[in-house]
Structure 1
Amino acid sequence: MLSVLTSLRLVAVDEINIATEAHWSDSSVKNPESFDATAKQLAWEREIANRLLKSYRENENRLREIEAELDTLPIPYGGEPTGSGGYLTAWQKSALKKTQLNFTWDKTATIDAIALVPLRLYLGDEAGLTENAYWPGSIKIRAKVNGAWKILAELNDSQQEIQNSLPEFVSFDPIQTQECNIVFSNLPKRMGNNQYAGGFSEIFIFSTNANIAPRAKITVNSSREGYRVFSRDYLTDEQTPLGLPEIGPRTAGGLGLTIVTKDRIHSPARSFTIKYPEDQKIDGVRIDPAVIYKPGQAFPIRFTVQLLDAAQNILQSNERYLDTPFRNPGLNPHIVHFPPTTARSVRLNFIESSQPTERSRPWIQISEVTPLYRGVPLPRTAKITATQENKPRIAQGLSDPFGIQLFWSNQAAYDGMTQSGKILTHREWLKGLNLRLRLLEEKSLLTATQTTLLHKVRNYSLMSTIGLTLLIIFCALYLTIHHRMKVKREIRDTRERIASDLHDDVGSNLGTINLHTEFLMDQIEEAELTDRLKAIFKLTKESAFGLREVLHTTAPRIGRAQNIVPHIEELTQLSLFDIEYSLQLDPTINKTLTSPLLRKGLLLYYKEALYNIQHHAQCTQVTISLKEHLGRIELKISDNGIGMSKDQLAAPSTLRTLKLRAKDLNGALKIQSQPNQGMTLRLTISPR
Structure 2
Amino acid sequence: MVVTVIYLAATTFHAESAGATSSLSKLSGQTLQQRLATIDNSLKSLATPSMRTGIGAVGFRSWPKRDRTKGEWIQINLAEPATIDQVVLVPTIWRDTANRYREDGFPEEFRIRVGNGVDDEGTVVATFSADESHSPRVAPVVIAIHPVVADWIRIEASVLSPRGWDGMYVLQLSEILIFSGIENVALRQEVSVSSSRESRPATPWHKDYLVDGFVPYLIDASEGTKSLAYLSMVGVGDRPEIVIDLERKQRINRIHLHSIDQSDTVPQSVPEDFGFPRELIIEGANLEDFSDAIRLTDYEILSDYHSGPIVMRRFPEAECRYVRLVATQPYYYSENDLSGTRIGFAEIEIFSNGVNVAKGKTPSVEYKTSGPARNISALTDGHNLFGKILPHKQWLGELARRHDLEYERPRIAGELNERYLRQKANLRLLSWLVGLLGFIIVCTVLFERTLRQRAVFQMREQIAADLHDELGANLHAIGLLGDLVQKASDSPDRLSSLVRQIRDLTQRSGAATRYCTNMLESTGLFEDLVNDMRRTSARLMADFEHELTFSGEEHLQDLRPRTRTGLFLFYKECLTNILKHSHATRVTTELHAIPGELRLTVTDNGRGLSDSQTATVPNSLRRRARLLRAKVSVVPAPGGGTEVTLILHPNRFTIFR
Calculate the TM-score normalised by the size of structure 1: 0.52
1:285 to 243, 255, 258: 255
In structure 2, the CA distance between the partners of 1:269 and 1:328, relative to structure 1 (3 Å rule), is same
| Cα distance in 2, alignment partners of residues 433 and 61 from structure 1 | 22
| Cα distance in 2, alignment partners of residues 159 and 321 from structure 1 | 39
Q: Which residue of structure 2 lines up, in the alignment, with residue 309 of structure 1?
A: 285
Shift of 1:259: 0.7
Shift of 1:237: 0.7
Q: Which residue of structure 2 lines up, in the alignment, with residue 248 of structure 1?
A: 222
In structure 2, the CA distance between the partners of 1:436 and 1:122, relative to structure 1 (3 Å rule), is closer
2:320 to 343, 366, 371: 343
What is the identity, as a one-letter code, of the residue corresponding to 1:432? E
Is the 8 Å Cα contact of residues 59 and 206 (structure 2) preserved in structure 1?
yes
| Cα distance in 2, alignment partners of residues 277 and 153 from structure 1 | 44
Q: Which residue of structure 1 lines up, in the alignment, with residue 345 of structure 2?
A: 366
Shift of 1:196: 1.1
Shift of 1:66: 0.9
Per-residue CA deviations over 1:318-343 (Å, capped at 9, x if unaligned) read: 34428x5776745x211122221112
Equivalences for 1:376-455 in 2 at 5 Å?
Answer: 376-378=355-357, 380=359, 382-387=361-366, 390-395=367-372, 407-455=373-421
Q: Which residue of structure 2 lines up, in the alignment, with residue 237 of structure 1?
A: 212
Shift of 1:203: 0.4
Per-residue CA deviations over 1:411-430 (Å, capped at 9, x if unaligned) read: 22111111211112211111
Shift of 1:361: 3.9
What is the identity, as a one-letter code, of the residue corresponding to 1:248? S
Q: In structure 2, the residue corresponding to 1:219 is in which secondary structure?
A: strand
Aligned structure 1 segments of 4 or more residues deviating by more than 6 angstroms: 126-129
| Cα distance in 1, alignment partners of residues 109 and 27 from structure 2 | 38
In structure 2, the CA distance between the partners of 1:450 and 1:178, relative to structure 1 (3 Å rule), is same
Q: Which residue of structure 1 lines up, in the alignment, with residue 470 of structure 2?
A: none
Q: Which residue of structure 2 lines up, in the alignment, with residue 352 of structure 1?
A: 330
Equivalences for 1:605-620 in 2 at 5 Å?
Answer: none
In structure 2, the CA distance between the partners of 1:95 and 1:127, relative to structure 1 (3 Å rule), is farther
Shift of 1:240: 0.7
2:104 to 125, 128, 133: 133
Shift of 1:434: 1.5
Q: Which residue of structure 2 lines up, in the alignment, with residue 89 of structure 1?
A: 62
What is the identity, as a one-letter code, of the residue corresponding to 1:103? I
| Cα distance in 2, alignment partners of residues 386 and 173 from structure 1 | 46
| Cα distance in 2, alignment partners of residues 420 and 194 from structure 1 | 36
Is the 8 Å Cα contact of residues 302 and 326 (structure 1) preserved in structure 2?
no
In structure 2, the CA distance between the partners of 1:328 and 1:230, relative to structure 1 (3 Å rule), is closer
| Cα distance in 1, alignment partners of residues 395 and 199 from structure 2 | 28
Q: In structure 2, the residue corresponding to 1:394 is in which secondary structure?
A: coil
In structure 2, the CA distance between the partners of 1:156 and 1:357, relative to structure 1 (3 Å rule), is farther
The structure with the largest alpha-carbon Rg is: 2
Q: In structure 2, the residue corresponding to 1:93 is in which secondary structure?
A: coil
What is the identity, as a one-letter code, of the residue corresponding to 2:252? I
Equivalences for 1:450-529 in 2 at 5 Å?
Answer: 450-459=416-425
Does 2:194 align with 1:218?
no
| Cα distance in 2, alignment partners of residues 408 and 296 from structure 1 | 18
In structure 2, the CA distance between the partners of 1:194 and 1:384, relative to structure 1 (3 Å rule), is closer
| Higher deviation after alignment, 276-285 or 294-303 | 294-303
| Cα distance in 2, alignment partners of residues 127 and 73 from structure 1 | 26
Is the 8 Å Cα contact of residues 137 and 188 (structure 1) preserved in structure 2?
yes
| Cα distance in 1, alignment partners of residues 296 and 106 from structure 2 | 38
| Cα distance in 1, alignment partners of residues 228 and 395 from structure 2 | 20
| Cα distance in 1, alignment partners of residues 57 and 139 from structure 2 | 17
| Cα distance in 1, alignment partners of residues 27 and 149 from structure 2 | 48
| Cα distance in 2, alignment partners of residues 66 and 436 from structure 1 | 9
What is the identity, as a one-letter code, of the residue corresponding to 2:415? T
| Cα distance in 1, alignment partners of residues 165 and 377 from structure 2 | 53
Q: In structure 1, the residue corresponding to 2:32 is in which secondary structure?
A: helix
Per-residue CA deviations over 1:633-673 (Å, capped at 9, x if unaligned) read: xxxxxxxxxxxxxxxxxxxxxxxxxxxxxxxxxxxxxxxxx
Q: In structure 2, the residue corresponding to 1:412 is in which secondary structure?
A: helix
| Unaligned 5+ runs, structure 1 | 1-52, 396-406, 464-688
Is the 8 Å Cα contact of residues 113 and 124 (structure 2) preserved in structure 1?
yes
In structure 2, the CA distance between the partners of 1:325 and 1:157, relative to structure 1 (3 Å rule), is closer
Does 2:113 align with 1:142?
yes
Per-residue CA deviations over 1:572-626 (Å, capped at 9, x if unaligned) read: xxxxxxxxxxxxxxxxxxxxxxxxxxxxxxxxxxxxxxxxxxxxxxxxxxxxxxx
Q: Which residue of structure 2 lines up, in the alignment, with residue 196 of structure 1?
A: 169
What is the identity, as a one-letter code, of the residue corresponding to 1:219? S
Residue identity (%): 21
| Cα distance in 2, alignment partners of residues 127 and 59 from structure 1 | 30
Does 2:127 align with 1:154?
yes
Q: Which residue of structure 2 lines up, in the alignment, with residue 486 of structure 1?
A: none
Per-residue CA deviations over 1:397-440 (Å, capped at 9, x if unaligned) read: xxxxxxxxxx2211221111112111122111111112212222
What is the identity, as a one-letter code, of the residue corresponding to 1:238? G
| Cα distance in 1, alignment partners of residues 229 and 163 from structure 2 | 43
Is the 8 Å Cα contact of residues 141 and 400 (structure 2) preserved in structure 1?
yes
| Cα distance in 2, alignment partners of residues 194 and 420 from structure 1 | 36
| Cα distance in 1, alignment partners of residues 353 and 210 from structure 2 | 19
Is the 8 Å Cα contact of residues 283 and 295 (structure 2) preserved in structure 1?
yes
In structure 2, the CA distance between the partners of 1:192 and 1:325, relative to structure 1 (3 Å rule), is closer
In structure 2, the CA distance between the partners of 1:64 and 1:164, relative to structure 1 (3 Å rule), is same
Q: In structure 2, the residue corresponding to 1:134 is in which secondary structure?
A: coil
In structure 2, the CA distance between the partners of 1:426 and 1:149, relative to structure 1 (3 Å rule), is same
Per-residue CA deviations over 1:170-223 (Å, capped at 9, x if unaligned) read: 122321111211001321224575621121110000110000102532111111
In structure 2, the CA distance between the partners of 1:391 and 1:359, relative to structure 1 (3 Å rule), is same
Q: Which residue of structure 2 lines up, in the alignment, with residue 662 of structure 1?
A: none
Q: In structure 1, the residue corresponding to 2:161 is in which secondary structure?
A: coil
| Cα distance in 1, alignment partners of residues 396 and 41 from structure 2 | 19
| Cα distance in 1, alignment partners of residues 423 and 281 from structure 2 | 65
In structure 2, the CA distance between the partners of 1:145 and 1:60, relative to structure 1 (3 Å rule), is same
Q: In structure 1, the residue corresponding to 2:122 is in which secondary structure?
A: strand
| Cα distance in 1, alignment partners of residues 167 and 304 from structure 2 | 38
| Unaligned 5+ runs, structure 2 | 1-25, 430-657
| Cα distance in 1, alignment partners of residues 398 and 167 from structure 2 | 37
Q: In structure 1, the residue corresponding to 2:162 is in which secondary structure?
A: coil
| Cα distance in 1, alignment partners of residues 165 and 83 from structure 2 | 44
Is the 8 Å Cα contact of residues 296 and 316 (structure 2) preserved in structure 1?
no
| Cα distance in 1, alignment partners of residues 108 and 27 from structure 2 | 37
| Cα distance in 2, alignment partners of residues 325 and 159 from structure 1 | 37
What is the identity, as a one-letter code, of the residue corresponding to 1:73? L
Calculate the TM-score normalised by the size of structure 2: 0.55
In structure 2, the CA distance between the partners of 1:194 and 1:86, relative to structure 1 (3 Å rule), is closer
Is the 8 Å Cα contact of residues 230 and 260 (structure 2) preserved in structure 1?
no
Is the 8 Å Cα contact of residues 297 and 356 (structure 1) preserved in structure 2?
no
